[in-house]
Amino acid sequence: MDLQTLTYLVVGASFALYIGIAIWARAGSTKDFYVAGGGVHPVTNGMATAADWMSAASFISMAGLISNMGYGGSLFLMGWTGGYVLLAMLLAPYLRKFGKFTVPEFIGDRFYSKSARAVAVLCLLVASITYIIGQMTGVGVTFSRFLGVSNDAGIYIGMGIVFMYAVFGGMKGITYTQVAQYCVLISAYTVPAMFISFQLTGNPIPQLGLGSTIAGTDVSLLTKLNMVVKDLGFSEYTSQVPGSYLNMFVYTMSLMIGTAGLPHVIVRFFTVPKVADARYSAGWALVFIAILYTTAPAVAGMAKLNLHATVNSAVGLETDASGRMAVNPAVISANADLYATEASLVYEERPDWMKRWERTGLLKWEDKNGDGRIQFYNAATKDPAALAKIEAAGWKGSELTVNADIIVLANPEIALLPNWVIALVAAGGLAAALSTAAGLLLAISSAVSHDLIKSIFVPDMSEKAELMAGKISMAFAIVVAGWLGLNPPGFAAGTVALAFGIAASSLFPAIMMGIFSKKMNKEGAIAGMLAGLFITLFYVFAHKGIFFVKGTEYLGLIGGANSFFGITPEAFGAIGALVNFAVAFIVDKMTKEPPEHIQALVESVRVPRGAKMIDGAH
C-alpha cells in the first residue's frame, strides 16, 4: 500500500477513535464539562495529563531544537520536566485541596477579589492564546506534508475534529480522548526511534543507543557526531551552548516556572477524587512524560547524523542493497575530508524525502555557487581551517535550510523506514497538537464562561445556562485559535517559549504566594500579576517589533537585541516573575493584610488534617 493511502487510513482511524470516545463521554453537567465530574482514576488522569502537557512543541519541535542546539538544547529537557516536578510537589496537592474548578477561581477566592479573578483571566487568556498558535501551526504542518492538503485546509480539519470532541465532551470527553492520544503519540515517537537506534548501533533502546558505538566500528555515535559537525564548521554537538550560560540558566528557569503556571495543566489535578489522588496522578504523569523526554535526545542526535549522511557521503552512512540506512565502516574509520566537493550530494539525485519536504517550504535549497550540488555547513564559522577548505572548494555559503520542526516528522523518511511507521508518526504529531489544543481551549472556555460570565457578570446564571455558555465560549475559542493559526503574528516561531514566559511572569507567582504566604493581600497579588505580565510583554514586543513595525525588529527602544544582560525574549519570563514577586511584596507591605478568615483558609489548605498548627495547638 502506498504511503499516502496508508497515512489517510491511520490518521482517519485515530480521528474516528477520538470522536467515538467524545460521544461516549459527553458532558452532561458543568462539573463534567470543567473537571470531568471529579472522578477520574489517578493513572488515567496521569496519562491524560501527559498528553495534555506534551504538545506539538514536545513531539515535533523539541528534538529539532536539541538537534540544532546540541548540549544547549538540554535546557528544554531540564526546564519542562523540572517544571512538572515543581508543579507536582508544590502546587497540585494544595490546589486540589482548595477544590476549585479553575486557576482564576482559586486566585479570585484566595485574594478575596473579583478584580484579582479578572486579572488572572487576562493572564490566562494571553498565555493560552499565545500557546495555542504553535499547536495550530503544528496541525497545519503535519496535514500539509502527510495528507496532501494545504496548510490552511489542515487547520480547518483540525478545528473541526477538536470542535467535535471538546465542545460536546468538555473535560470529560477531552480526558478520555487524551488517553487515546497519548497512546498514539508515544508509539509514534518511540517506534521510529527504536528502528533507527538499531540501524545505527545495533541497540534497539534509543536511550542506550545514543551512548553506544556505531555498528561495526569502535567509534561511539556521539564521537562521530562531534567529528561531523566540527568538520562542517559547527561547535561540538556535546558541548555547544547558544548565547551565554546566564541566558541558558534563565531560559531553563522560565520554562520551569512557566510549566508550573500553565492553567490547562493545573486544572487536570481538579479532576481526581482526592488530594492523595492528585499526588499519585502527578507521579504517573511524570512516568508517562519521561518515556518521550528520555527518548528525545537520542532522536535529535541520530536525526542529525542521518541528515548529514544524506547530504555528505563522507559521513560514512549510506543506503544498503535492501534500501535501509547502513554503516560503511571503511568511511567511518577513514579521516575523510568532508569539504571535498565530491562528498556533497548532487541536487538532482536528492532522495524522495527531500523532494516531499521541499513542497512544504520547510526545507529549501539555493545553488549559490552554481555547481548543482548541495553544500550544507556552518557558513558563519570562524574556524581558519574550515574557512580555508570552504574557499578551496569554491563554495559561496551554506545552501540548505532545514526547519527544526521537520526533524521528528522527517526522521523515519530519512532513515527509509517502512511506510506504516511514517504514517504512525503523522498520526502522533496530530495527536500531540490536538491534545494540547483541546486542553488550552477548555482553559480559555472555562475562564470566559465560569470566571467572567458566571462569577462577575451574571452570578445568578443557572447550571444549564452556564454549560451552554461554556460550549459557546469553547466554539468561539476554536474559531479564534484557527484564525491565529491561519494568520500567525510575526513572533509565531517562538510562541511556545513565549507562552511559558508569560505564564511564568504572571500566574505562577500569584499561585505560589496564594498557597505559601497567608499575609499576601489582594492589592499585592493584582499589582504583581500586572507588573510581571506587562514587563514581559514589553521586553518581548520591543524585540519582536509587534507593536511598532510588523515583520521587522524594533530595537532602539531598549538599547539593542537581548539588551538586558544578553537574555533573549523567550527567556525573559523568569525575570518577569522576579518583578512580579518584588512588586507584590512591596505593595503588600504598603496596604493592609488579608482578613482573618482568608489567612485561616490558607493555613487549612497548606497544613494536613490532624497536624499541629504553627502555634503548637491542636
Q: State the virtual CA torsion across 225, 229, 231, 234 in degrees, nearest 10.
A: -150
Regarding whether 333 and 295 lie in a shared domain, the answer is: no
Residue 188's pLDDT is what?
94
Q: Which of 414, 435, 460 is the last residue of a domain?
A: 414
Regarding whether 356 and 252 lie in a shared domain, the answer is: no
Regarding whether 520 and 374 lie in a shared domain, the answer is: no
Measured in degrees and rounded to the nearest 5, phi and psi for residue 319 equal -85, 125
Regarding whether 569 and 474 lie in a shared domain, the answer is: yes
For helices 463-486 and 151-162, what crossing angle results, to 10°? Answer: 170
Q: What is the pLDDT of residues 383-412, one digit of tens each?
A: 787 788 778 878 888 899 888 878 888 888
Which band of pLDDT confidence, cut at 50, 70 and 90, is reported for residue 366? Answer: very high
> Ranked by mean pLDDT, which of 208-217, 335-344, 528-537 comes out on top?
528-537
Considering only residues 382 and 614, tell me which one the structure prediction assigns the higher pLDDT: 382
The set of cell numbers assigned to 149 is 492538503
Whether 617 is in a domain gets the answer: no
* Least confidently predicted of 194-203, 332-341, 462-471: 332-341
Residue 496's pLDDT is what?
75
Q: By the 8 A CB rule, do 594 and 513 touch?
A: no
Read out DSSP for 376-411? -S-TT---HHHHHHHHHHT--S--EEE-GGGHHHHH
Q: Residue 396 belongs to what domain range?
A: 305-414
Read out DSSP for 430-466? HHHHHHHHHHHHHHHHHIIIIIIIIIII-TT--HHHH
For helices 151-162 and 419-446, what crossing angle results, to 10°? Answer: 60
Regarding whether 66 and 48 lie in a shared domain, the answer is: yes
Which band of pLDDT confidence, cut at 50, 70 and 90, is reported for residue 585? Answer: very high
Regarding whether 359 and 254 lie in a shared domain, the answer is: no
Average pLDDT of the chain to the nearest whole number: 83
Regarding whether 337 and 290 lie in a shared domain, the answer is: no
Regarding whether 88 and 109 lie in a shared domain, the answer is: yes
Which CATH number belongs to the domain containing residue 25 in this structure? 1.20.1730.10
Regarding whether 284 and 249 lie in a shared domain, the answer is: yes
Whether 20 is in a domain gets the answer: yes
Whether 613 is in a domain gets the answer: no
Considering only residues 617 and 248, tell me which one the structure prediction assigns the higher pLDDT: 248
Q: What is the pLDDT of residues 512-557, one digit of tens each?
A: 999 999 999 999 999 999 999 999 998 887 775 544 444 444 444 4
Whether 611 is in a domain gets the answer: no
Regarding whether 507 and 409 lie in a shared domain, the answer is: no
Mean per-residue pLDDT for 87-94? 83
The residue count of the chain comes to 618
First-residue to last-residue Cα distance in the chain: 71
Q: Which of 385, 414, 443 is the last residue of a domain?
A: 414
Mean per-residue pLDDT for 463-478? 87
Residue 172's pLDDT is what?
83
* pLDDT exceeds cutoff 50 at 75: yes
Q: What is the pLDDT of residues 131-189, one digit of tens each?
A: 888 788 778 777 777 777 777 888 888 888 888 777 777 888 888 889 999 999 999 99
Whether 616 is in a domain gets the answer: no
* pLDDT exceeds cutoff 80 at 342: no
Residue 616's pLDDT is what?
38
**Cα angle: 440, vertex 443, 445; to 5 degrees:** 110
Whether 70 is in a domain gets the answer: yes
Dist. CA 495–CA 536, nearest whole Å? 13
Whether 273 is in a domain gets the answer: yes
Regarding whether 523 and 388 lie in a shared domain, the answer is: no
Q: Which of 414, 439, 458 is the last residue of a domain?
A: 414
The set of cell numbers assigned to 96 is 486540589
Q: Name the DSSP class of 351.
A: -
Residue 365's pLDDT is what?
92
Regarding whether 143 and 10 lie in a shared domain, the answer is: yes
Residue 411's pLDDT is what?
85
Whether 614 is in a domain gets the answer: no
Looking at the structure of the chain, the number of domains it has is 2
